[in-house]
Amino acid sequence: MVHRNYHNGLKTTLLLGGMWALLVCIGALVAWGTGQAVWILLFAGIGLAQTAYSYWNSASLALRSMNAYPVSELERPELYAIVRELAERAGQPMPLIWVAPTMTPNAFATGRDPNHAAVCCTEGILAILNERELRGVLGHELMHVYNRDILTSSVAAAIGGLITSVAQFLMFFGAMNRRDEEGGSGIFGVLGILAMSILAPIASTLIQFSISRTREFDADEDGAELTQDPLALASALRKLEMTTDRRPMADTPGTRNVAAMMIANPFRGESLARLFSTHPPMDQRIARLEKIAGY
């Protein structure tokens, strides 16, 4: 199978560089407001530690967030047969297979590389897709692994969650800190911290948003090539779009971070999390797949 060059190394560098820069800017703002430069080093160190931890534990963190459980070949022979066939066709090792106990239909892959990968399907997606559609979905997810998308998404989601947590802390810090002008903080320092507290989560989301959407299109195209059946994935995406609004996933910090790795946005259409989705519109994805099939 031909692997296209999507310049993922450059995209990864830009994504993680932007997230790190935002963390350092938060540290610089706190340092300016408090008059203590140690905050810059502290936030840079937190970013480094979080990146390292996410790199080594990306798979377990995502699976734990979804309360997923591993399944054996005896329990899910259809999953093993599809994944094994696609992995062999791509010349890649067989990933671990997990199932998440939620009726919201979705699937995601995780892991830092093909040798440490896992594929997770929700109970909901296994209930609504036929074998052909499920094969299309799994082809898409495996291509995320082979294109090295998963590690970047995992690390970016972890840093994005960290930035959001830091921003919430700063809102409390800004409200409580009332140092006088001579101390170096004053009302402008407090307002600056509050502004960053509000803007930082939005900025971190938009940084992920700007790169992750192209990866979904790439995985759709490559997954269609792997399965040789683009219409199967298109049919699956239609079902996911219709069913998710009836059975949305609970919007929690854990599911919000994993959502960027899922094949479809798992939240209800009008939710704020859906507004800042890292996924392109489903109708665009379906149209592209139909074009590949010659429709």
Confirm whether 75 is a catalytic residue. Answer: no
111 within domain boundaries:
yes
Is 52 a domain residue? yes
The answer to whether residue 1 sits within a structural domain is: no
Residue 13 lies in a domain: yes
SS3 260: coil
The kind and range of the H/E element at 295 are: none
Mean pLDDT per block of 10 residues along the chain (295 residues) reads: 56 69 76 76 77 72 90 96 96 96 94 89 97 97 87 66 68 58 50 61 62 81 95 96 89 78 80 58 94 88
CA–CA distance, 213 with 204 (Å, rounded to integer): 15
Site of tokens 């340092």: 31
> Does a structural domain hold residue 21?
yes
Q: What is the pTM of this model?
A: 0.76
The neighbouring-strand residues paired with 96 are 118
2 domain residue, yes or no: no
Range of the domain at 31: 8-292
Q: Domain for residue 123, yes or no?
A: yes
Q: In sequence order, what are the beta bridge partners of 70?
A: 98
SS3 assignment for 168-226:
HHHHHHHHHCCCCHHHCCHHHHHHHHHHHHHHHHHHHHHHHHHHHHHHHHHHHHHHHHH
SS3 108: strand
C-beta of residue 240 within 8 angstroms of C-beta of residue 264:
yes
Q: Exactly one of 131, 133, 141, 241 is catalytic; which is it?
A: 141
117 neighbors 98 (Cβ within 8 angstroms): no
- So what's the pLDDT on residue 139? 97
Overall residue count recorded for the chain in this entry: 295
Angle (nearest 5°) at CA 66 between 62 and 68: 95
Q: What is the pLDDT of residue 275?
A: 46
Residue 12 sits at φ, ψ, to 5 deg, of -65, -45
CA-to-CA separations, 249 to 30, 105, 244, in angstroms, rounded: 35, 9, 8
Q: Which of 75, 69, 85, 62 is nearest to 134 (CA)?
A: 85
Round to whole Å and give the CA distance between 59 and 110: 5
Residue 162: inside a domain: yes
Q: Point out which residues pair with 119 in neighbouring strands.
A: 97, 109
The closest alpha carbon to 144, from 192, 176, 182, 109, belongs to 109
Q: Total domain count for the chain?
A: 1
**Residue whose C-alpha is closest to residue 133's, from 237, 50, 14:** 237
Helix (H, G, I), strand (E, B) or coil at 164: helix
User: Coil, helix or strand for 36?
Assistant: coil
